[in-house]
Amino acid sequence: MAVTDFFVGEIATELLKMMVQISTKSCLCKTTAAQIANSIQQILPIIEEIKYSGVELPAHRQFQLDRFSETLRRGIEISEKALQCGRLNIYRNLRLARKMEKLEKDICRFISGTMQAHILADVHHMRFETTERFDRLEGVWLERRLESMKIRADGSREGGWWVEEAFKRAEEEEKYETNLVNIGTGLRVGKRKLKELVIGRDDLRAVGISGIGGSGKTTLAREFCKDPEVRRHFKEKILFLTVSQSPDVEQLRRTIWGYLTGSENVNSNDLILHGRAANSALLVLDDVWSISVLENLIPNIPGCKTLAVSRFKFPEVLRETYEVELLRESEAIALFCHSAFGQQSIPLAANHNLVKQVVNECKCLPLALKVIGASLRGQSEMFWNNAKTRLSRGELICESHENKLLRRMAISIERLSSKVRECFLDLGCFPEDKKIPLDILINVWKELHDLDDEEALAVLFELSQKNLLTLVKDARGGDIYSSYYEMYVTQHDVLRDLALHFSSQEIVNNRKRLLMPKSDTELPKEWLRKSDQPFNAQLVSIHTGEMKEMDWTQMIFPEAEVLILNFSSSGYFLPPFLCNMPKLRALVVLNNNATHATLNNFSVFFSLVNLRSIWLEKISMTQLFDACAPLKHLRKISLVFCKINKSLNDSTVNVSQIFPLLLELKIDHCNDLVKLPSSICEMQSLKCLSVTNCHSLSQLPTNSWKMKNLQILRLFACPLLTTLPPSICELSCLKFIDISQCVYLTSLPEEIGKLANLEKIDMRECSLIRRLPRSVVCLQSLCHIICEEDVSWLWEDVKSHMPNLYIQVAEKCFDLDWLDE
C-alpha cells in the first residue's frame, strides 16, 4: 500500500466532516457543501478499499491519486475559511461560495472520469485473488461480539435511557448478524450460484430461491442485490418487492410496470407485462406463496430477469431454483453462542458437549439458533439439559421441517412468563410482512392485559432480546416524549406462524384469540359453522377484502375487548356483531388499499359504551362523527392517512361533545386538513395533541388556552404553519412542544416564557426563526432544545440565564440505504 493511498482516505474523511458542518450553517455555500459531501460519500468507500487492500497500485494510478489528494487538501483550506467566516461578511462569503463551486466540479469530474472505472476494476480482481485470505480472517470477524444488556422493567423514567439502549442493542445485533452472514461460506456459495443462473444464463427468464422459513432466503436475496457485480450488470436497475400470502396483485403489477417502463399511468385493464426494456433490469419477488400470483407478476420483457423467493418450488414456472444451504457447524455454533452467551465461541466454563448437542438439534437453521439461544441465556446446566431432551423428543420422521421448527421454537415460548407469553401470542393478529405501529401494539397489550406503558415496554424489549420480534425506529424515536407511532415492530413469518399455531389449539368458540391467518373474501367456515354459539375470544382479528352487509354473519362476542379489522377496499360495511361486543375497549380499522375507504353502518358505535380507543387508517371521514353518540369512555383516537373531508369543521360537528373525556388525539398524514377546529380546544381533559405530517394545515385555533391539562403538543412536519397562536402561552401544564420541520415558521410566541413547566422544544429544520422572544429566559424548567446549528447560536446567547439548558444540534445524515429498498 502506498503512502498516498493512506493519506487520501484520511483527507477525504476530514473534508467530509467539514462539509457536513458547513451544510448545517446558514451561508451561501451551504448547498454546494452538501453536494460535495454527497460526492465524497460515493468515492470514500472505494478509497477505503484501496487503503486497506494491501495492493500496490500502478504508477499512473498513484499519480491520479496524488492529484486528487491535492484537490482535497485545497478543499480543506476553503472549508476552514468558510467555517471561520462571519455570517455578515457577504463579500468573503460570496468568494468562498465560488471557490466551493469550482471544488465541487473538480471532485465530480474525478468521480465521473475513468479513474473510478480503473479502481473498481482493481478492486474486482483483488476480491477474487484474496478469497482464501478472507476465509482465514473469518475467526477475526466473528470476534466482534456484543456486550449483553439487561432492560429495566421497573418503570423508571430516568431520561428514557433504557429505551435508547434497547434500540442501540437491536441495531448492533443487526450489524453483527450482517457481518456473520457476509463471511459465511453458504452466502458466498449462494451468491456465486445465483450469479451463474441469473447473469450467466440468457435462456433463464426467471430463477427461484427456496428454503424453509427462517433459513435465510430473504437475506441471500438482499445480499445478492447489493453485490457490486450484480449492480453493474443490471446498471443499478433492481426492484425488490415483498409479495406475501395476501397480495394486491394489480397494485404490484402497476409498480413493476411503472418501474420497468417509466410509465406511472397504466390502465389496469390493459396491463400486460410485455414490451421492450431500454436496459437490463432485475425484479426480486420476495415471500411468494402462490404459483398463480407468480405467473401474473413475472414480466415478459427482454433483458429483465426475475428472482422469486419462496418457501416452495414452482417448477412449472421456474426452470431453475437454488435451494438455500444452511449454516456450517462452525457458523451455527458462532451464531448460537452470540445469542446464548454474547460471544462467538463456547465459553470455557460451559459444557461444550451439551452446547453442541443443543446446536445440533437446531439443525443449523439461523432463526432457530437465534431464538433458542436467546431463551437459554443465563440458565442453569440442568435447564439446558432438560431443553436438549425436549428438543430431541420433537424429532418425528413423518413431520415436515416446518412443523419441526415450530416444535423446537415452542420451547422458547413455553419458557416465557405467562404475561410475556400472552403478549407474544397477540402478535398473530397482525397481517404478515407488515410493519406494526408500536402505538397499536402497546394499546392492544394495555387493554387486554391491564398493563401500563412501562410494563408494556418492558415486555416489548424482553421479546426483542429473545429475538421473538424486531424493533424498528426512525431517527426521532426513543426518548421519553417520543410518540409510539414513530416506532415499529416486525416479526418473521415463522414466528407469526408459531403464534397462530399456539392460538388455535382449542376449539374455535373457546379460543382467547380468534384470528384469520391471511386475507380471504369471507369469514372462515370454521367460524360460520359455530356462529350459533357465543365466542369467548378476547381478541378478534378479521382480514378480508370489501365487506358488504350481506357478507357478515351475526355472531356473539360477550368477552371481546379488542377488535382489529384489516381490509383492502374502497368501501367497508362495519360488522353488525359490533353490537354484540359489550366489553369492547379497543377498535383498530386498517385499510390496506391504495385509496381511502368509506365506512358504513356507523350506528354500531351507539352500543360501544366501554370503548376506550379507536385507530382509523386510510378512512374517509365523511359523516363518521355525525353518526356518533357521545363516547364518554373514549380516551384515545388516532386518525392516520385519513381523508378528513371537512368532517372536523366547527359548523359540522363539535368534537368536544362527542369525545368529552378524551386524553389523546392524534391526526397524522391527513393532507386535506387545512384548519384545526376550535372545538378541539374545548376538550379540557386532553393531555396530548399530535397533528403531524399534515401538509395543508395552515391555521391553529386561537382558543388554545382552554386546553388547561395539555402536556404534549406535536406539530411535526406541518410546513404551511407560519405562526403559533399567542394563546399557546397560556397552557400552564405544557411540557413538550414539537415544531420540527415547520419550515415556514418564523418565530416563537412573544410570551412563551409563561410556560413555566415546559421542559423540551424540538425545533429542528426551523431555519426561518432568526430571533427568540426575550421571555425565553423565564423558561426555568426548560432543559432540552433540539435545533439546527444555524439556530443554536440563538439559544447559546441566552444559555447564561438558563444554566440547566442542553442544546442538541441535530445532525444531518447522508444515508444511501434507501437505494436498496
3-class DSSP state of 632: coil
Task: Please compute the mean of the pLDDT values over residues 528-550 and round it to a whole number.
Answer: 94
Task: Please compute the mean of the pLDDT values over residues 293-313 and round it to a whole number.
Answer: 89
pLDDT value, residue 131: 39
Query: 482's torsion region: left (phi>0), alpha (psi -120 to 50) or beta?
Result: beta
> What is d(CA 224, CA 189) in angstroms, rounded to the nearest whole number?
11
pLDDT in tens, 378-427: 888 888 888 887 766 543 323 444 555 666 567 678 778 999 999 999 99
Task: Please compute the mean of the pLDDT values over residues 553-559 and round it to a whole number.
Answer: 94
pLDDT band for 372, please (50, 70, 90 cuts).
confident
**Which among 339, 250, 242, 241 has a CA at the least distance from the CA of 281?**
241
Long-range pairs of 184-189 with CB within 8 A, sequence gap ≥ 24: 184/327, 184/328, 184/331, 185/135, 185/328, 185/331, 186/216, 186/324, 186/325, 186/326, 186/327, 186/328, 186/331, 187/216, 187/219, 187/220, 187/223, 189/325
Task: Please compute the mean of the pLDDT values over residues 624-653 and round it to a whole number.
Answer: 77
Please state whether the predicted TM-score (pTM) of the whole model is above 0.95.
no
Range of weakest confidence among 110-124, 206-220, 521-535: 110-124
* pLDDT at residue 731 is higher than 60: yes
pLDDT in tens, 465-485: 777 888 876 655 555 666 665
pLDDT value, residue 180: 47
* pLDDT at residue 370 is higher than 90: no
pLDDT value, residue 162: 39
* pLDDT at residue 177 is higher than 70: no
pLDDT band for 172, please (50, 70, 90 cuts).
very low
pLDDT value, residue 7: 44
Give residue 16's identity as a one-letter amino acid code: L
* pLDDT at residue 11 is higher than 90: no
Q: Are 529 and 550 in contact (CB under 8 A)?
A: no
* pLDDT at residue 327 is higher than 50: yes
pLDDT value, residue 12: 64
3-state secondary structure 640-685: ECCECCCCCCCCCCCHHHHCCCCCEEEEECCCCCCECCHHHHHCCC
pLDDT value, residue 101: 78
Question: How confident is the prediction for the chain on average, in pLDDT?
Answer: 79
pLDDT in tens, 658-675: 888 999 999 999 988 999
Residue 37 grid coordinates? 459531501
**Which among 761, 765, 773, 729 has a CA at the least distance from the CA of 744?**
765
Q: Are 543 and 566 in contact (CB under 8 A)?
A: yes
> What is d(CA 254, CA 265) in angstroms, rounded to the nearest whole number?
9
* pLDDT at residue 182 is higher than 80: no
Task: Please compute the mean of the pLDDT values over residues 159-184 and round it to a whole number.
Answer: 44
pLDDT value, residue 48: 55
pLDDT band for 5, please (50, 70, 90 cuts).
very low
